[in-house]
A and B are shown apart, each in its own frame.
Chain A
Amino acid sequence: MHSWSLKKRMTVVSTVVLVLAFSTIYFITKSAYTIASKSRIQQSLEAQIYALMAVAEERDGQLYLPEVMRNDRLNHLNSGLVAYVLDVDGDLIWRSKSSDIYSVLPDISLDYSLTKMSESRLENRRMFWIGDTIIWEHENGMEGEYLFLIGEKQTLLSASVRKFKREVLVWLSLTAVVLIFVLGFALNYSLKPLRRAQKQIEQVGAGDAEKVVGEFPAELRPLTDSINQLLESEAQQKSRYRDTLGNLAHSLKTPLAVIKSEIHQLHDSDHQGQLQKQIERIDDIVKYQLNRSVVTAGQTMKRKSEVEPELTKIIDALKKVHREKQLQIEAKVQAGCFFPGDQGDLMELVGNLADNACKWANSKVLITVTQDAKRLMINVEDDGGGVPAEKRALILDRGKRLDQQAEGQGLGLSIVMDIIKTYQGEISIKDSALGGADFELRIPD
């Protein structure tokens, strides 16, 4: 499953909760209001029906009700309140004036009651009814059964429910909007330390920061502390690794130096030359493997090294080493260039290429560094003899293999090509405007 961001999750969850809660509140309020309204209507109708019964009087064995009632709603057409008195056969005894607009009589087959409202249509109009059957004892000793019915148009209720609904909706929406803002603010506030941690971890990952700094909430502290511990142990391990390699180099190379000095004491002979050659081979292999194992590309945490200060150090060193030739060694570095790795690798790349350039140059070496969004470009140029086009491929090809070092490029080019490979970069040889060779490195970010 695709993993959503915390912010997205919390936004979705809060929205769902908000929508569910507000819908529930809306429906409960609405139905409570409807129920309350209905019971109010029922009570009012019940009161009316008693009033109706109170004004009924008997004359000549017949039941009469006044034409004009005290409740004005029964006198006016369109008031929505109607009343009927029917006999047991469904024949009309009396009807309120307000019912004159209806041509039909209410359905008497329904089970009317005083305590429960019945619903039915009267000429396509939905009505609430309550009714009661009473037995009237006439003066002539006869008994008559009459149905008193009173009804109210449902539209009156639905209009008031609609109005209530509208009002509730407006208030609920307003509250929801305010709540969304408050929730958004709360979310932002709660996620702030997380965002800060995220930014710092990203910076560390991209090599822009050494470690995660600052105070974090208790929930995040184990995470930030572990990251710092990890970084620290990686750095320690690296430095231990370097020390070990240093000791290894020392313990391998000092005996080699002794052997070499011993050979020097021997008289010239074929053997001396052979021994000398073999020692140089061993030395090259040791040198190549040791330098190679320091290459740090592909580490968990990316390192970034500023190019300019390292380059200045290298140029100072080269000026010392090649002082005899009185070379003009210049660097043109685009401001803010970063090498996507350890400074040791950067020094190895530039140092070896520039050292070769110094060996071949007549008077001038130029190192140019530029960077765009995709890659870092390093050009090392000299004003020496240059490399003829047909030999370039051969030199680079030989540089790939330790046992076939490129002529005149020494071990340096092999080391450069090895580092370039780990960084998935490219190397090419071109003609320099200075007149000599231009070794161009392209290292992707």
Chain B
Amino acid sequence: MKVLIVEDEQRLRENLISSFKDAGFAVEAADTGEDGLFLAEEYPIDVAVVDIGLPGMSGLEMIGELRNKGNQLPIIVLTARDSWQDKVEGLSTGADDYMAKPFQFEELLARCNALLRRTAGYASPTIKFADIEIDTMAQSVTKAGALVELTAYEYKVIEYLFLNPKKVVSKTELTEHIYDQDFDRDSNVLEVFVGRLRKKIDPNQSLKIIQTLRGQGYRLNPEYLD
């Protein structure tokens, strides 16, 4: 999952970047509304965290611009003013949720995850296919109730596939959503992740839950979709 952070306060932006990276997100960051708008339009972003009080183009103007262009990217606004008038203004401009500064990172993360799930059409934080269940809050995977140990990147891969269950996900798309833009992309690495993931969640290869479509990418086995 790729998060876009638009925050002008350098220290806060850096801390957010490192916290989101620790939480397994790929991160893009900008310090102005103009840059944020550019990144949101040009890169495959899954969720954005936007500060309202930006110099120049404000966060709300940036969101308004994105929505005007039909971009439905889920957005959480960070706001210093937390009167209901400000909240309502932010939400009616097109933000999907708000967080008043100062905030607890865990809560911001939980809301980002909730937004991602909602965008994918899930109401609960857990998503299950066959006997494999992922918990987007805990970022954990269980198979038939037993915990499966995954690395952060392995988890990112399965989470992205689970959140886009009906879609054929190309290797490029998957790479873009789990890596930062300056990461050295190598599709072989991705194949290694997917291979290891298959072994961990389906040791006997009886489920064949992640299918490879040659020349197109990966998808979840449609048999397990409701």
Interface, chain A (partner B; CB < 8 A): 245-246, 249-254, 256-262, 264-265, 279, 283, 287, 290-291, 294, 313-314, 316-317, 320-321, 323-324, 326, 343-344, 347-348, 350-352
Report Cα–Cα, A253/B86, bound state, in Å.
15
Whether, in the assembled complex, B71 has its beta carbon less than 8 Å from a beta carbon of chain A, the answer is no
A409 to chain B, nearest CB (A): 15
Residues of A within 8 A of B84 (CB): 314, 317, 344, 347-348, 350-352
Q: How many CB-defined contacts (below 8 Å) exist between A and B?
A: 101
Instruction: Decide: A314 near B88, CB < 8 A? Known: A250-B53, A279-B102.
Output: yes
A262 near B101 (CB under 8 angstroms)?
no
Complex Cα gap A323–B121 (Å): 12
Given contacts A314-B84, A316-B91, A347-B85, 6 further A-B contacts (CB under 8 A): A249-B82, A261-B19, A264-B104, A287-B100, A313-B92, A316-B92
Determine whether B97 belongs to the interface, using a CB cutoff of 8 Å to chain A.
Answer: yes
Q: When the two chains form their complex, are residues A313 and B118 in contact, meaning their CB atoms are under 8 A apart?
A: no
Candidates A252, A261, A321, A344; contact of B91 at CB < 8 Å: A321
- Asked if B97 and A254 make an inter-chain contact with CB atoms under 8 angstroms apart, the answer reads no
Whether A260 contacts B102 by the Cβ 8 Å rule is yes
- With a CB–CB cut-off of 8 A, which chain B residues contact A314? 84, 88
Minimum CB distance partner of B52 in chain A: A250
Q: Which residues of B contact A279 (CB under 8 A)?
A: 102
Asked whether, in the complex, the Cβ of B15 is within 8 Å of the Cβ of A250, the reply is no
6 contacts between A and B (CB under 8 A): A246-B81, A250-B53, A251-B80, A260-B103, A264-B19, A287-B100
* Contact residues, B79-131 vs A (CB, 8 A): 80-85, 87-88, 91-92, 96-98, 100-105, 114, 118, 123
B81 touches A257 (CB 8 A): no
Please, which residues of chain B bring their CB within 8 A of the CB of A260? Answer: 102-105
Q: Is B12 an interface residue (CB 8 A)?
A: yes
5 A-B pairs with the lowest CB-CB distances in the bound complex, closest first: A351-B84, A261-B15, A250-B80, A257-B102, A256-B102
Tell whether, in the assembled complex, residue B9 and residue A257 are in contact, meaning their CB atoms are under 8 Å apart. Answer: yes
Q: Which of A326, A343, A347, A352 contacts B123 (CB 8 A)?
A: A326
Contact partner of A253 (CB less than 8 A), chosen from B11, B87, B101, B104, is B101
Chain A residues near B81 (CB, 8 Å)? 245-246, 249-250, 290
Given contacts A246-B80, A279-B102, A320-B96, contact A257 B85 (CB under 8 A): no
Residue of A nearest to B98 (CB): A321
Q: A261-B19, A265-B18 are in contact. Are A351 and B88 (CB under 8 A)?
A: yes
Q: In the complex the two chains form, is B80's CB within 8 Å of A258's CB? A: no
- Taking the closest CB of chain A, its distance from the CB of B153, in whole angstroms, is 22
Q: Are B83 and A323 in contact (CB under 8 A)?
A: no
Q: Is B16 an interface residue (CB 8 A)?
A: yes
Q: How far is the CA of A279 from the CA of B82 in the complex (A)?
A: 16
Given known pairs A246-B80, A258-B15, A317-B87, the reply for A324 and B102 (CB within 8 Å) is no
Number of interface residues of B (CB under 8 A): 31
Q: What is the CA–CA distance of A279 and B18 in the complex, to the nearest angstrom?
A: 21
For chain B, residues 54 to 89, give those with C-beta under 8 angstroms from any C-beta of chain A. 78, 80-85, 87-88
Q: Given A250-B53, A262-B15, A264-B19, are A256 and B88 also a contact pair (CB < 8 Å)?
A: no
The smallest beta-carbon distance between A15 and chain B, in angstroms, is 56
Residue contact A254 to B9, C-beta cutoff 8 Å: yes
Nearest CB in chain B to that of A320: its residue: B91
Give the residue among B82, B100, B101 with the most A Cβ atoms within 10 A: B101
Contacts of A265 in B (CB 8 A): 15, 18-19
- List of A residues within 8 angstroms of B105 by Cβ: 260-261, 264
Given contacts A258-B15, A321-B97, contact A253 B102 (CB under 8 A): yes
Flag if B11 contacts A258 (CB, 8 Å): yes
Q: What residues of A have a CB within 8 angstroms of the CB of B87 in the complex?
A: 317, 321, 351
Q: What residues of B have a CB within 8 angstroms of the CB of A291 in the complex?
A: 83
A257 to B91, CA, bound (A): 21
Query: Of A264, A324, A347, which contacts B83 at CB under 8 A?
Result: A347
B-side contacts of A245, CB under 8 Å: 81
How close is B176's CB to chain A, nearest CB, in angstroms? Answer: 26
B83 and A317 contacting across the interface, CB-CB below 8 Å: no
Q: Report yes or no: B12 in contact with A258, Cβ–Cβ below 8 A.
A: yes
Given contacts A254-B53, A320-B97, A321-B91, A249 and B15 within 8 Å (CB-CB): no
Query: Could you say which residues of chain A place their CB within 8 Å of the CB of B15?
Result: 258, 261-262, 264-265
Inter-chain CA distance A439–B40, complex, in Å, is: 42
Cβ contacts under 8 Å, A261 to chain B: 11-12, 15-16, 19, 105
A351 vs B101: C-alpha distance in the bound complex, in angstroms? 18
- Smallest beta-carbon distance A357→chain B, Å: 14
**How far does the alpha carbon of A345 sit from the alpha carbon of B154 in the complex, in Å?**
49
Judge whether B97 and A283 touch: CB under 8 Å: no
A347–B88 CB distance below 8 A: yes
Complex alpha-carbon distance, A250 and B59, angstroms: 13
B11 and A249 contact, CB distance less than 8 A:
no
- B88 near A257 with CB under 8 A, answer no
